[in-house]
Structure 1
Amino acid sequence: METWKESQLKQLTFAKGIDAAYPILLRFAENLGFNFCAVSVVSLHRDTPLKTLQINNYPEEWNSQYEKRNYSKVDPLIAHCNHSMTPIVWGESVFAETLQLWQGLKQHGLQYGWSQSFHHEPSGLCSIISLARKHCSISPLELYEHFGYMFYAASHLSELFARTLPPQALKPRQPQLSPRELEVLRLSADGKTAFEISMILSLSERTVNYHVQNVIEKLNVCNKISAVIAAARAGII
């Protein structure tokens, strides 16, 4: 690792809050060859109303236009980052359904960029770091070289923000059950045996038991009955 990268990542690690971490992250982005750096942290919990944190050095005119036109509701970068932690490179194809947003980015020197998110499971927070520049597209090699650094930075920002939340806001996210697992769980709640469920869903009994075991592990319980009870209490079924 280059000396400056190691030094700035160490500074980022010891930052006490996001206000202190952002200038470090901005310098890091500039050293990587980017003009702009944006940070946002949102809650993916619909029942946990938290004000979105947004810090960036974008042109003020663009920030005003973005807010005035409520672009956050249709921004494909946000939609992607809220559901995936894979990096997304900005381009016309990404903004195919929001061309006005794409034109605005280009007009303000934000044409070449990429975004990286991190989902903080204990708190349900999603942090997004976006880097952008006026010239020069982002190559696959460049993305590969910088992905690890930005993923770490995004995870650290989530952790810093989570520390500022009141305890009641730190609700664990509900386990994500597959549609098939939900079907098996609902039928189990109706008192059906593995054999009966296999007949209803046209599955083998072994497959049904496999889904049951997955549900037990995801809900962190010890048996099928406990899984049904835990799922009902959590409002999953």
Structure 2
Amino acid sequence: MELWKESQLRQLTFAIGIDTAYPILENFSKNIGFNFCAVTVASTHHQPHFKTLEINNYSNIWKRAHEQDNDHEADPVIAHCKNSMLPFVWSKTAYAHAPNLWRALQQEGLRYGWSQSFHNEEKAVRSTLSLARKNCEVSPLELYEHVGYMHFVTSRLTELFISTLPATAPKSKLAHLSRRELEVLQFSASGKTAYEISRILSLSERTVNYHVQNIMLKLNVCNKISAVIAAARAGII
């Protein structure tokens, strides 16, 4: 690896925020032959109060026009990066369903580019990094040489952004009940006794009580009524 690459990747590793990481990334992108660099960090689950982060070195004219764009053409970069972490190379064909956006990119000088995303499923966050330039198509060799760097950068940017999010309480795992246990629990919730449930399900009363005991253990409760309440709160029944 060239010394400058190692140095800049090391700087990205020790960057303490996106505001300090972006200038390093912008310089890195210029060193590998790209004029423009854009970073977007978005929620994957439409979380309330989540504000999408966008940083780029596009012109102010482009930014204003993009903010005021009312055409609502589907951006193929967004569509691709929502579902894949593979690189996406910009082309007229790729933008076939967004011709106005493609023309705007060409006018801005964003003629040749590629994008790559990183998904953090646990935090429901997706980071997308796009590099573009005025001249020269992106070659397969460039993709081969730089895809690893791009993946590292996008994952690092995701980490930096997640570190700014408020801490959330870990989600408790739902107890997994068998089909028979669910049946017993549902009949119990409707007020049926073990004897009545045994007649309905063609089981012995002892077997029904065995299922009830397993349900109580899985839901970490001490009686059948508490089991019904816990299951209802958890959305199991």
Same fold (TM over 0.5): yes
Helix, strand or coil at the partner of 2:127 = strand
2:64 aligned partner, one-letter code: S
| Cα distance change of structure 1 residues 143 and 171 upon mapping to structure 2, 3 Å threshold | farther
Maintained 8 Å contact 1:117/1:151: yes
Q: Does 1:52 align with 2:52?
A: yes
Residue in 2 that maps onto 1:93: 93
1:122 to partner: Cα distance:
2.2
Between the aligned partners of 2:125 and 2:180, the Cα distance in structure 1 is 32
Helix, strand or coil at the partner of 2:164 = coil
Residue in 2 that maps onto 1:167: 167
Residue in 2 that maps onto 1:13: 13
| Cα distance change of structure 1 residues 22 and 46 upon mapping to structure 2, 3 Å threshold | same
1:162 aligned partner, one-letter code: I
Helix, strand or coil at the partner of 2:83 = coil
Deviation sequence 1:93-137 (CA, Å, 0-9, x none): 111111000000001100100001000122110000000000000
| Cα distance change of structure 1 residues 121 and 171 upon mapping to structure 2, 3 Å threshold | farther
1:233 to partner: Cα distance:
7.6
Maintained 8 Å contact 1:113/1:133: yes
Q: So what's the TM-score if we normalise by structure 2? A: 0.72
Residue in 2 that maps onto 1:152: 152
Between the aligned partners of 2:236 and 2:148, the Cα distance in structure 1 is 35
Helix, strand or coil at the partner of 1:22 = helix
Residue in 2 that maps onto 1:181: none
1:158 aligned partner, one-letter code: T
Between the aligned partners of 2:30 and 2:151, the Cα distance in structure 1 is 17
Helix, strand or coil at the partner of 2:131 = strand
1:49 to partner: Cα distance:
3.5
Unaligned runs of 5+ in 2: 184-217, 219-231
| Cα distance change of structure 1 residues 6 and 97 upon mapping to structure 2, 3 Å threshold | same
Residue in 2 that maps onto 1:74: 74
Between the aligned partners of 2:180 and 2:8, the Cα distance in structure 1 is 53
Q: So what's the TM-score if we normalise by structure 1? A: 0.72
Residue in 1 that maps onto 2:117: 117
1:106 aligned partner, one-letter code: Q
Greater Cα radius of gyration, structure 1 or 2: 2
Helix, strand or coil at the partner of 1:41 = strand
Between the aligned partners of 2:53 and 2:236, the Cα distance in structure 1 is 29
Between the aligned partners of 2:119 and 2:236, the Cα distance in structure 1 is 21
Between the aligned partners of 1:102 and 1:186, the Cα distance in structure 2 is 53
Residue in 1 that maps onto 2:32: 32
Between the aligned partners of 2:148 and 2:95, the Cα distance in structure 1 is 25
RMSD: 3.2
Residue in 1 that maps onto 2:65: 65
Between the aligned partners of 1:236 and 1:92, the Cα distance in structure 2 is 49
Residue in 2 that maps onto 1:197: none
Unaligned runs of 5+ in 1: 175-184, 192-225, 227-231
Deviation sequence 1:49-108 (CA, Å, 0-9, x none): 410100000111111111111577621101111111011000011111110000000011
Helix, strand or coil at the partner of 2:118 = strand
| Cα distance change of structure 1 residues 23 and 189 upon mapping to structure 2, 3 Å threshold | farther
Between the aligned partners of 2:235 and 2:44, the Cα distance in structure 1 is 17
Residue in 2 that maps onto 1:108: 108
| Cα distance change of structure 1 residues 102 and 187 upon mapping to structure 2, 3 Å threshold | farther
Between the aligned partners of 2:22 and 2:71, the Cα distance in structure 1 is 23
% identical aligned pairs: 55
Between the aligned partners of 1:187 and 1:72, the Cα distance in structure 2 is 46
Maintained 8 Å contact 2:38/2:54: yes
